[in-house]
Chain A
Amino acid sequence: MAPLLEVSGLKAYYGATEALHGLSFALEKGGITTLLGANGAGKTTTLRAISGLVKRDGRITFDGEAIDRAATEDIARRGVAHVPEGRGTFTGLSVEENLKIASYGRRDKSGVKRDLDLVFSYFPRLKERLNQQAGTLSGGEQQMLAISRALMLSPRLMLLDEPSFGLAPLIVQEIFHIMRRINAEAGVSMLLVEQNAALALDLADTAYVLETGTVVMSGPAAQLKNDEGIRKSYLGY
């Protein structure tokens, strides 16, 4: 079976600076893949390059179609939902409006309704806060909102950029538990970028390790978890 997302020779630029130097990896349909690496390794940039948020070069195919020249909004409409670093809450809008924004491009009204019910089944707390201004939500709730908003795109692939960032461990556990459910129940594949390598390797089935814009190691998550080098560098024991 062809992979859902295939990236080869990916380069990305901030101005004249090359931040990714020919990255290649693939993501299987239905899987959870994680990108590990220190600060500045290019994890966030990789996600941004896939979404067309930075200048990029190389080949990216999603479900067999090239998306390396597509605009960000097109990529989103094809089913790649980006949950950005820092959550990207639309602070001036209500929770409900944040969720609605994502479904603007969709024609299937019954599908939108179904996805909204799905969102509330995962995050009942958002249903309680529907009319609250999103900027006043707690960090954890904003992360839930960001994931929910992505779900409203009815995506086949979710790009998750540091979903644990700045959150209390208990909330992180809750959110990661729901991410696993979304993957298993809704069949959404995931590409996860995490500082918390232990957490990421627990959730993911495949892992890639990045160092200064290139892949230095890859393999099944369980295997990488037991790798001595990984343990020392990223897991800290």
Chain B
Amino acid sequence: MTAVTAPGAPTADPARNITRTLVIGLVLMAAALPFLVGKSGVISNFTFLQLSLMIVYAIAVLGLNLLTGFNGQISLGHGAFFAVGAYTAAVLIETYGVNYWLTLPVAAVLCFVIGYLFGLPALRLEGHYLALATFGLAIAVPQMLKYKHLEPITNGVMGINLMKPDAPFGLALSSDQWMFLVVLIVAVAMFWAARNLLNSRPGRAMIAIRDNTLAAGTMGIDTSRYKATVFGISALYVGIAGALHAIIFEFVSPDSFRFELSIAILVGAVVGGVASLPGAIIGGVFVQFIEKYADAMTKKLTQAIHLPLELQPWTLYGITLIVLIYVMPGGIAGGLAALWARFRRRA
């Protein structure tokens, strides 16, 4: 009975406390990393950029996870919101000289509004149809960015070049190290917000809609409004990820945000683990890792085992994906959890 009357009461669950300590410890260690490395070059600026990109994709995967994993709506078009966020940041910084921090809330609001408005008609669509409609969005947005009459703003196919911001307050950090910190801070805030959302009433309503939309309606939940709002929030997350990407990558162009990006975010969500917050981090790492190394790894593998045929760059990606989905249908996060449960039963 007490559990019901006092929902906010702290729980004495030791496993949860360990997890919390672990997460805080890891974040603090990550945050200390740039300061420890400093100008020594033990970890290169390029590696910091790679780490930042992983975190950026983790935010995007988290955004899609809120929609797909926790609300049951599928999207093959979230790359579009990533693009909108990225261009918002690029245009504001380059054309209007806005501080890069301020571009984040603007990208967030803009993507929320677009996501919400797109989510409204999309309510009538379910499953395959929603997938197709969102896919259309992913196809259309890069083309719209190339549109002639938008060129004064978007600079057409040429895209927009940016300058990475320097570390403020005379901190002895490189731009890449500083932006790693920025991205980390934003990511922590976004994950914290997502966790709190999911533990709140609206969060439980989101999950109820995923589990059984009709029953959720008969429980007095306004399912339409919820679905559109979650679409907006999901787009907001991806938009912020896009804005961060533009800032740290110092470049946006329509072809950076082709539909492959939408697929990559979805793959990241599924591989990491649908409806899992840690899964979103794993998914982010996977998206960046694959994009960067699938090509090189395929070549290396071809040489290493003296294959008689030449493997195409994405072969390894495909094989990895098939193996992962068969071995760990619950994503990597789900697979690890299952392994851990088995280990504990044995022990």
Interface residues of A (CB under 8 A from B): 51-53, 71-73, 76-77, 81-82, 84, 88-93, 96-102, 104-105, 113, 116, 120, 127, 130-131, 149, 153
Contacts and interface: CB of A to CB of B under 8 A. Distances in A.
A91 B201 CA distance: 16
Contacts of B4: 96, 99-100, 116, 130
A92 B207 contact: yes
Contacts, number: 82
Contacts of B201: 100, 104
Contacts of B219: 76, 101-102, 104, 149, 153
A101 B221 contact: yes
A53 B218 CA distance: 9
B214 A53 contact: yes
Interface residues of B, number: 24
A216 B39 CA distance: 87
Nearest to B209: A90
B212 A90 contact: yes
Contact of B220 (A53, A96, A99, A102): A102
B291 interface: no
B136 interface: no
Interface of B: 1, 3-5, 7, 201, 204-205, 207-208, 210-212, 214-223, 275
Given A101-B204, A131-B3, A153 B212 contact: no
Nearest to B226: A73
Contacts of A113: 5
A27 to B, nearest CB: 18
Residue from A96, A100, A105 with most neighbouring chain B CB atoms (10 Å): A100
A88 B211 CA distance: 8
Contacts of B275: 92
Contacts of A71: 222
A53 B214 CA distance: 7
B98 to A, nearest CB: 40
Contacts of B215: 82, 84, 88-90
A92 B211 contact: yes
Contacts of B214: 53, 84, 88
Given A88-B214, A90-B211, A92-B207, A77 B5 contact: no
Contacts of A105: 220
B73 to A, nearest CB: 15
Given A53-B214, A88-B214, A104-B201, A93 B220 contact: no
Contacts of A149: 219
B218 A76 contact: yes
Given A97-B204, A113-B5, A130-B3, A89 B212 contact: yes
Nearest to B214: A53
A102 B201 CA distance: 11
A177 to B, nearest CB: 24
Given A51-B217, A53-B218, A73-B221, 16 more contacts: A72-B218, A76-B220, A88-B212, A88-B214, A88-B215, A89-B211, A92-B211, A96-B4, A97-B204, A98-B208, A100-B4, A100-B7, A101-B208, A104-B201, A127-B1, A153-B219
Contacts of A96: 3-4
17 contacts: A51-B217, A53-B218, A71-B222, A73-B217, A76-B220, A82-B215, A84-B218, A88-B212, A90-B207, A90-B215, A91-B211, A96-B3, A101-B216, A130-B3, A149-B219, A153-B219, A153-B220
